[in-house]
Structure 1
Amino acid sequence: MEARMENLAAGRVWTLSGRMTFHDNDRFLAILAEFASDSGRRVVLDLAGVEYTDSFAIGLLLQAAEQARANGITLVMAKPSATVRSILEQMDLAGQLPVEPPLQPASGHGATAMAAAETGGLKLSPLPSERGPGLALSGRFTFAAQGTFLSVLQQMERLNGSHYRLDLADVSFMDSGGLSMLMMANDQARHVGGTLMLANPSPRVRDLLRMAAVDTVMAIEG
């Protein structure tokens, strides 16, 4: 991802281009650090030149929206390409990201539109020892599950080249925050020489993983 900044009378404009992925975490966090001096201003993230976003990058956009609200910033994510817009709409982010022109709400039909009415937080339970190190996840895997999922990342610090399995069979709902945490877990596993396996996702979770290209960076079985 490339980023170029302009200070205009109406506010600050960040023009982003290229592929926006988890590799751009540090670069994007540097942009967010500038938000501290933008309180009360208008900030535009121009996404017209962004060709692709993975699930981790979408998590960064959600983080930008949250930080803008906390700093009293009027944030606009402007002119996303047709590809990026399609990903954001299929992930039902119309009410969460300040995109212009506005995103269309998900229709509520099809495998990628998960029912938001489902309730319950994320729960973790150990897998049977014969299946190797790992956890079974159940419930809703959303941005709000960061605190719960932290224990997964802490376990991965001790992998030392091992394989780690996350069983998703009982995950009833996953948003872009959950996708981002899976990408963080995969990055952590690779950092210590291990690998992460996602097992038994439901058809609609599997479709979401495929749509966000998660299946191109980690193994999915079942």
Structure 2
Amino acid sequence: MDISHIEGPEPVYRLAGKLSFADNEAMRPVLDDMGTGTGRTLILDIGQLDYVDSFGIGLFLVALDEVKKAGNRLVVRNPQGAVKRIFALSNLDTLLTIEGENTPPLGPSAKLPPLAPIHNGLTIGPVVADGEDGFVVMLTGRFTFNDHEGFEALLSAIESCAETTLTLNLKGLEFMDSAGLSMLLIAREEAARNNTHLVLASPSGRVSQLLDLAAIDTLVDVREQR
């Protein structure tokens, strides 16, 4: 990914190419600037950004957190194509201030499935043996920024399954936003620390589309059925 910087009363950072885990160090000065001073407006122009993976989504959340802590304001300009779509799927477009959305409407073949009926929060089932020297946990409902308690239960499940395989069955998960996706990545890191092989099984609908667009299968074992 290429990053260019335009100084001014409202500094502009232009991102071009693909934003992924490999850009962690390159993005560090940008994130540091987000938390510098107070009362500033900083702009991320992503009109030439054509791809963002799950790690990149997390970086946008980190940037938002940095500006909020400093009392600054973040504006994201010109999301296009697949990047705009993943913003919508992950709910980032409701968390960020976005300007200049010039992407034409999605064609009929790219329409998203309708949202399932809304339920309040995430439900995490008990840890049960899967009959193959591993364990399964069912995730149902909606996995969003508000599900910290559920996330703590998930981390506890991972800790209890050290040295084995833990499958998170996502068949009943109706919706997941960018925060939920980031928490899954934290769960993956916790699993690695406990020598637990983490599997995401049976994602469907909008959750499956979000995982595909974020290329999470490059970081976590994703299986269609379990």
TM-score (norm 2): 0.75
Alignment of 1:106-125 (within 5 A): 112=112, 115=115, 118-125=118-125
Tell me if the contact between 2:80 and 2:102 (Cα under 8 Å) persists in the aligned partners: no
Secondary structure at the residue paired with 1:166?
strand
* CA displacement, residues 56-100 of structure 1 (integer Å, 9 cap, x when unaligned): 322331342344344332321123343322322344543322222
Q: Residue 210 of structure 1 corresponds to which residue in structure 2?
A: 212
Unaligned 5+ residue runs, structure 2?
none
Q: Residues 25, 147 of structure 1: CA spacing in aligned structure 2 closer, same or farther, 3 A cutoff?
A: farther
Instruction: Find the counterpart in structure 1 of residue 51 from structure 2.
Output: 52
Q: Is the aligned partner of 1:200 residue 2:202?
A: yes
Closer/same/farther in 2, CA of residues 146 and 112 from structure 1, 3 Å limit: farther
**Counterpart secondary structure, 1:143:** coil
In 1: Cα distance, 2:174 partner to 2:195 partner: 30
Q: What's the secondary structure of 2:12's corresponding residue?
A: strand
SS at match of 1:19: strand
Change (3 A) 1:157 1:129: closer
Which amino acid in the other structure matches residue 129 of structure 2? S
| SS in structure 1 of the partner of residue 14 of structure 2 | strand
What is the CA deviation profile of residues 82-123 of structure 1, one whole-angstrom value per residue up to 9, with x for unaligned ones?
33223223445433222221378x99x987455386131112
SS in 2 for 1:198: strand
Aligned partners of 2:3 and 2:159: how far apart in 1? 32
Corresponding position of 1:37: 36
Percent identical pairs in the alignment equals: 32
Superposed CA RMSD: 3.4
- Deviation by residue 1:118-170 (Cα, 9 ceiling, x = unmatched): 13111222232245234221221012223431343355457554222111122
Q: Which amino acid in 2 is paired with 1:200?
A: S
- The aligned residue for residue 220 of structure 1 is 223
Equivalents in 1 of 2:215, 2:86: separation in Å?
11
